[in-house]
Amino acid sequence: MIAFNSNDEFNTDMQQPENYRFRIKRVYELPDKHDGRRILVDRLWPRGLTKEKASIDLWLKDIAPSTELRKWFDHDPGRWEEFKERYLDELKGNSEQIQLLKQELDKGIVTLVYGAKDEAHNQAVVIQENSWLFR
């Protein structure tokens, strides 16, 4: 699991910074008892994984970046800053999905899972960095 601090540094231990409300990890990592509710935040189902193996409690595909934004970004780190801004704008306009995620947080620990290979540049990181939206 990756946890980012305010300086965009990361650590891989199981402790989460206090200012973040979500844990994040790749869906291809083995589920862990510390994951709590595992919520997939990708629009597309991860390749090569069965529902059982992914161990997903909820799939919020509509909280993922729009298809247009996802294709534009194409996991290009050079587009990361603009991606974050554009995706945050999409999130702010997605009150139904934000409410669903808030409800899950009220139940306890939430781990956002994603399929991207890049652990530093993906939508779960944006959600985690903007957890104030889910208060």
Q: By C-alpha distance, which of 106, 80, 104 is closest to 4?
A: 80
pTM, full prediction: 0.84
Mean pLDDT on 15-30: 76
26 phi/psi in degrees, rounded to 5:
-70, 140
What are the sequence ranges of the domains in the chain? Answer: 3-134
Computed over every residue of the chain, the mean pLDDT equals 87
For residues 35-61, b (16+ Cβ closer than 10 Å) or e, as one string? Answer: bbebbbbbbebbeeeeeeebebbebbe
pLDDT > 70 fraction of the chain, expressed in percent and rounded: 85
So what's the pLDDT on residue 21?
76
Express each pLDDT in 45-91 by its tens digit.
Answer: 999 999 999 999 999 999 999 999 999 999 999 999 999 999 999 99
For Cα atoms 42, 43, 45, give the angle at the middle one, nearest 5 degrees: 75
Q: Other CB atoms closer than 10 Å to residue 23's CB: what's the count?
A: 23
